[in-house]
Chain A
Amino acid sequence: MLNLPFKTIGGGAALLLAILAPWLLSAYDLNLLGRFLALSLSAMGLVLLWGEGGILSLGQGVFFGLGGYLLAMHLKLDGLGAGELPDFMTWSGVTALPWWWAPFRNPLVTILGVLLVPAAIGAGFSWLMFRRRIGGVYFALITQALALVFATLLISQQGTTGGFNGLTDYHNLMGLNLNDEGVTRGIYWLTLALVATAYFALRWLLSSRFGKLLRASRDGSNRLRFLGYDPTPYKVVAFSVAAVLTGVSGAMFTLHAGVVSPALVGVVPSIEMVIWVAIGGRTYLVGGIVGALLVNFAKDKISTALPELWLYALGLLFILAVTAFPRGIVGEFEGERRFKPARLGDMFARWRAGRATS
């Protein structure tokens, strides 16, 4: 146990620090850290989808928004009586609760909704695309249009979505006061646990046979087809898993931030998610977490100090991330390491690993 690799020690120390963060950071910084950890779930989804699958989605904000809005709908309904309406609906002159709001009064339905609605929409949409072999730039542009349409739709339906302001001003979750210090810490640890779970689950997924076939579909779809595989299901699963992660990310972010609005789900936030991953290292799960935290803390610091400067910096980041540092921060520190083959169940990988070391 003493010759643990440096990465394991470093990762363990980072995790320990993150667990202890509520005692180390001010309430404000803890809230930021919680938000950005929630965002890193989206980033890990993009590592799976873009880094490993080669599928660039510029519409992840849609799934982020679905998760965030579904949870916010529950929070708005929480504590209201049978005939009562959320405050913004009354202001907009809506007289009855829309049918698609009603199920989310139930917390269990809400949790299922946050997981299943992005999964279903992601699977349906990506299946329509990938079965006709629409990929690359075409796919990126269509997903961008999807993000635009989603945000426009949210803004236009003032009475049922809160319009431009989104859904905000809620204080209770299942009888807990969201402003209570213990509750905010609990939500922080929940976020951290979700990030850790997602990290290890994705690591397992990517080192499995599925991960290998996904990378194969990225590097040579045609070769994969010649070998008798259909790449479509692998891509659809990758897109759907990323959609679920992004949905959970949106829900957790909404809990930390206390607001979800069209400004968080449109074209610009969707493409910003991609830059976190590009900066951190697009083929590294840790890169997704590092990128999401670094870029967002930088954004917070720079845009409060010098608001005009932030967009120049962000623009420059986009350019540098693909020209000067295509491997990202984590990639710069790593060697030519790729995913280690899973120890069990893949004879070819074991054979190749054996050859490489001998």
Chain B
Amino acid sequence: MDAAFLTGQVFNGFSVASIYILAALGLALSFGLMRVINMAHGEILMVGSYLAYLTILFIPGPLGIFAAMLVAFIGAGLLGAGLEAALVSKLTARPLDTLLATWGVSLILQQGARDVFGATGVSVTAPAWLDGAITIGALPLPAARLFIMAVAVAVLGGLALFLRMTRVGLLVRAVNQDRATASAMGVNVRQVDAFIFGLGAGVAGIGGVVLALLGPVTPNVGQSYIVTAFLVVVLGGLGSMIGTTIAAVMIGLVMALAQIFVDVSFAQVLTLLFVVLFLQFRPQGVIAIRSRALDAE
């Protein structure tokens, strides 16, 4: 095994990790607030991909991809907020039932996409400036993958700034730390929930645009990433952004490095094994909030 191959795999690991970050951030944020997981999150990625396809049909050219991101962010965000208002908010305090109800939504969205766009999938033409590769040493790094990493870093930075610097961010952090106290202080907890759910869905929409650069957009495109994104949330620990990022990088690297020795399916086995073993040492994930409160269960 030569060094170039190893660095190539590490690069792949980070590149996959950045997709998981985009897919898992929204899940982690609303899990931190509401302790619920949206099983339809993968289909929100899918909606983002289809919105990218539609936008680039109307706005071709080198900058179409940025317009697509904006459209996907807003479209997916509205879809998420609608889902929260119509279904998820009715089921708070019943996290397992939320899993099942949102799974139902995901089935409906998948079949809807199949009826509207067809089962075979459509492809998004990436702008020309994403076609090439940048060669560092002997290692060609595909521009599209570098772009995905840049998008993930930009989204992380933007979210961190938003949560740290704005008044809405302050409210979000307050509800995240102590829901009851925040509510007692007059924070409209329900609005914060809906806002974060929408914001997380918007981020997933951007993730969907990025997925559209990598392959054809099919009704199942979200499903292929979402189960691993769920694992990232579990590994990251109670809705922490830093935890989610670290967990995504760990899972991406374990998966990419395992593929040096075994095939893709065994790499998945090893990744799951890694998660189960990691939780033996840190059952609450990478970032655990220490408190004297009892476990929620």
Residues of A within 8 A of B (CB): 50, 56, 58, 125, 128-129, 132-138, 140-142, 144-146, 148-149, 152-153, 155-157, 221-222, 267, 271, 274-275, 278, 308, 311-312, 314-319, 321-323, 326
A interface: dominant SS: helix
Check: B227 CB closer than 8 A to any chain A CB. Answer: yes
Can you list 15 A-B contacts (CB < 8 A)? A56-B96, A58-B99, A128-B280, A136-B95, A137-B96, A149-B269, A149-B272, A222-B294, A271-B100, A278-B100, A308-B111, A315-B104, A315-B106, A316-B104, A322-B101
Check: B94 CB closer than 8 A to any chain A CB. Answer: yes
B265 touches A152 (CB 8 A): yes
Check: B175 CB closer than 8 A to any chain A CB. Answer: no
Partner of B295, one of A157, A221, A274, A321: A221
Q: Which of B106, B107, B115, B234 neighbours the largest number of chain A CB atoms within 10 Å of its CB?
A: B107
Partner of B99, one of A56, A135, A267, A312: A56
Given contacts A222-B297, A318-B104, A323-B101, contact A311 B111 (CB under 8 A): yes
B230 touches A155 (CB 8 A): no
A156 touches B265 (CB 8 A): yes
B272 touches A145 (CB 8 A): yes
Q: How distant is the Cα of A272 from the Cα of B12 in the complex, in angstroms?
A: 34
- The distance from the CB of A332 to the nearest CB of chain B, in whole angstroms, is 17
- The distance from the CB of A107 to the nearest CB of chain B, in whole angstroms, is 30
Residues of B within 8 A of A146 (CB): 272
Q: Which 7 A-B pairs have the closest CB atoms?
A: A318-B104, A315-B107, A156-B265, A315-B108, A132-B283, A322-B97, A311-B111
Check: B292 CB closer than 8 A to any chain A CB. Answer: no
Residues of B within 8 A of A315 (CB): 104-108, 111
Check: B268 CB closer than 8 A to any chain A CB. Answer: yes
- The distance from the CB of A127 to the nearest CB of chain B, in whole angstroms, is 11
Residues of A within 8 A of B11 (CB): none
B100 touches A274 (CB 8 A): yes
Considering only CB atoms, which chain B residue lies closest to A326 in the complex? B97
Check: B266 CB closer than 8 A to any chain A CB. Answer: yes
A312 touches B108 (CB 8 A): yes
A322 touches B275 (CB 8 A): no
Residues of B within 8 A of A (CB): 31, 35-37, 87, 90-91, 94-101, 103-108, 110-111, 114-115, 223, 227-228, 230-231, 233-234, 263-266, 268-269, 272, 275-276, 279-280, 283, 294-297
Residues of A within 8 A of B100 (CB): 271, 274-275, 278, 318, 321-322
Residues of A within 8 A of B275 (CB): 142, 145
A144 touches B230 (CB 8 A): yes
A142 touches B231 (CB 8 A): yes
Partner of B94, one of A129, A319, A322: A322
B interface: dominant SS: helix
Residues of A within 8 A of B37 (CB): 137, 141
B227 touches A267 (CB 8 A): yes
A317 touches B104 (CB 8 A): yes
Residues of A within 8 A of B96 (CB): 50, 56, 136-137, 140
- The distance from the CB of B103 to the nearest CB of chain A, in whole angstroms, is 5
B99 touches A316 (CB 8 A): no
Residues of B within 8 A of A156 (CB): 263-266
Residues of A within 8 A of B227 (CB): 144-145, 148, 267
A134 touches B279 (CB 8 A): yes
Residues of A within 8 A of B103 (CB): 271, 318
A222 touches B295 (CB 8 A): yes
Q: How distant is the Cα of A149 from the Cα of B255 in the complex, in angstroms?
A: 13
Residues of A within 8 A of B108 (CB): 311-312, 315-316
Residues of A within 8 A of B107 (CB): 311-312, 314-315, 318
Residues of A within 8 A of B105 (CB): 315, 318-319
Considering only CB atoms, which chain A residue lies closest to B97 in the complex? A322
- The distance from the CB of A22 to the nearest CB of chain B, in whole angstroms, is 35
Q: How distant is the Cα of A136 from the Cα of B95 in the complex, in angstroms?
A: 8
Residues of B within 8 A of A132 (CB): 279-280, 283
Considering only CB atoms, which chain A residue lies closest to B224 in the complex? A148
B264 touches A134 (CB 8 A): no
- The distance from the CB of A282 to the nearest CB of chain B, in whole angstroms, is 10
Q: How distant is the Cα of A153 from the Cα of B120 in the complex, in angstroms?
A: 25
Residues of B within 8 A of A128 (CB): 276, 280
Residues of A within 8 A of B110 (CB): 311
B104 touches A142 (CB 8 A): no
A221 touches B272 (CB 8 A): no
Q: How distant is the Cα of A314 from the Cα of B294 in the complex, in angstroms?
A: 37
Q: How distant is the Cα of A311 from the Cα of B104 in the complex, in angstroms?
A: 9
Residues of B within 8 A of A308 (CB): 111, 114-115
Q: How distant is the Cα of A323 from the Cα of B94 in the complex, in angstroms?
A: 11
Q: How distant is the Cα of A316 from the Cα of B223 in the complex, in angstroms?
A: 19
Residues of B within 8 A of A144 (CB): 227, 230
- The distance from the CB of A54 to the nearest CB of chain B, in whole angstroms, is 8
Q: How distant is the Cα of A136 from the Cα of B37 in the complex, in angstroms?
A: 11
Considering only CB atoms, which chain B residue lies closest to A310 in the complex? B111
Residues of B within 8 A of A155 (CB): 265
A153 touches B111 (CB 8 A): no
Residues of B within 8 A of A148 (CB): 227, 268
